[in-house]
Amino acid sequence: MILLGIAVVLATIYLLIKRCETRMVLFTSGLVMAVLGGKPLAAFDVFAKSMTTAGLIEAICSVMGFAFVMKYTECDKHLIHLVANGLTRIRPLLIPGATLGTFAINIALPSAAGASAAVGTIFIPILIAAGVHPATAAAAVYAGTFGSMLSPGLAHNPFVAKIAGVNVMDVIRVHAKADIVAGVIGAISITVVAYLLKESKGYVAGSGAADGGERFKPKLLFAVIPTLPVLILVLGAMHISPALQKIGVPHAMLIGVLIGIAATRKSPTQVSKAFFQGMGDAYGNILGIIIAAGVFVGGMEAIGLVKAFITTLVSSTSIVKIAAAFGPFLLAVIAGTGDAVALAFNQAVTPHAAQFGLTVINMGSVATLSGALGRTMSPISGSAIICASIAGVSSMDVAKRNAPGMIIAVVVIMFMLL
């Protein structure tokens, strides 16, 4: 049974590398293992249970609803252009600034692919026009696409919070410093790589190069709105205001939506449609992966693979920290997705963190962040392909420039959190 389970897991990884539909692959693999383990209904039980996980639905759906409203009102566009305009005034900080700017914007717009598209269409042409090589310009943006680790709407944060039995902001507070350090390492690394390859200046853009939307004039009020919900939640988590401590993620997002309507004076009808469209998209795409990953882990439990893995780790505690950090990292590099591998790891292993002398929050945070870092140096992730397409280069060239920083970052965060 264990050998059969390993074979199914390897087949799952192969299919993810081939970019087969993630939810279909995880669900089917979980069902196959459940059938082989003689417990076919276990897969369906996990599926049904995962569909109604209250904490996850509230946080993820409300955040994505807010993100869709920000896109409709174009507040996200004002934020991105404001940051871009600031970067162009300080030449030495152009490359690292693009990375850190993307990192910060990705907190407010927590979809890595969405942020890559929105930020990349502005930042990448600006960098190229300033003489930065296209591959480095794309890598600078791509390196900042894990800023969503600091978002309460990132699927992993409420997921780990539910396992640990704590508030989502408590989870973010534990790994926030590691997230920022990893972001700074990524920004410094891509800058150093650019200078070593002599790609930081001197590139002459072709006639088709865009101007980065420099004629657009951002409004500060509109640019601030996407950051308000996160600011409210952070102030509440820091116990600065008793009133803000009572505000949850959905409350903060709805407050942001109402302020957005008042400031931009967009149609409330269209804002409502955008919000609920975002909620539906979040359930289908983000929660869909969580549900499918749950079925996958349920299948591994049915066939005995999880128990065997936990037993191996308990008897070899010296490798637990390495497994928690580098397991999701390497799989994310190979598969091009940090979500699927981190969710599977956190469902299967993280609840048993106490057996390894670790806390659930720390182990879950390491698995999540390392998966995100691995995805940020994968040439087959959606974000890599988007950034490479905007720059007109190979996604492999983009990933190679990010690799040194992501590898250094995963080692550093392992020591910081474990």
| All structural domains of the chain with their residue ranges | 2-417
Distance of alpha carbon 150 from alpha carbon 107, whole angstroms: 6
| Confidence (pLDDT) at 209 | 43
| Confidence (pLDDT) at 210 | 45
Structure tokens that stand for 54 in this block: 């209250």
Q: Is 262 exposed, middle or buried (0-12, 13-18, 19+ CB in 10 A)?
A: exposed
SS3 at position 399: helix
Digit-by-digit pLDDT tens for the chain (418 residues) are: 889 999 998 999 888 888 789 899 999 999 999 999 999 999 999 899 888 876 778 888 998 999 999 999 999 999 998 998 888 788 788 999 999 999 999 998 888 888 898 899 899 998 998 899 999 999 999 999 999 999 998 989 999 999 999 999 999 999 999 999 999 999 999 999 999 999 998 898 654 444 444 567 899 999 999 999 988 988 887 777 778 888 888 999 999 999 999 999 999 999 999 999 999 999 998 888 889 888 998 898 899 888 887 777 777 777 888 989 999 999 899 878 888 888 889 988 999 999 888 999 999 999 999 999 999 999 988 899 999 999 999 999 999 999 999 999 999 999 999 8
Distance of alpha carbon 401 from alpha carbon 123, whole angstroms: 17
Rounded to the nearest 5 percent, the helix, strand and coil shares of the chain are 80, 0, 20
CB 171 within 8 A of CB 243: no
CB 163 within 8 A of CB 360: yes
Buried/exposed code over 44-65 (b: 16+ C-beta within 10 A; e: otherwise): eebbeebeebeebbbbbbbbbb
402: region left, alpha or beta (phi > 0 left; psi from -120 to 50 alpha) = alpha
How many other C-beta atoms are found inside a 10 Å radius of the C-beta of residue 89? 9
Residue 200 Cα to chain centre, angstroms: 27
Residues contacting residue 336 through CB under 8 Å, at least 6 positions apart? 16, 17, 19, 375, 378, 379, 380, 381, 382, 384
| Confidence (pLDDT) at 95 | 96
Distance of alpha carbon 392 from alpha carbon 127, whole angstroms: 13
273-280 long-range Cβ contacts below 8 angstroms, 24+ apart: 274/65, 274/68, 274/69, 274/71, 274/72, 275/65, 275/66, 275/68, 275/69, 276/65, 277/65, 277/68, 278/61, 278/64, 278/65, 278/66, 278/67, 278/68, 278/69, 279/61, 279/62, 279/64, 279/65
Alpha helices (runs of H) in 74-111, residue ranges in sequence order: 75-87, 94-108
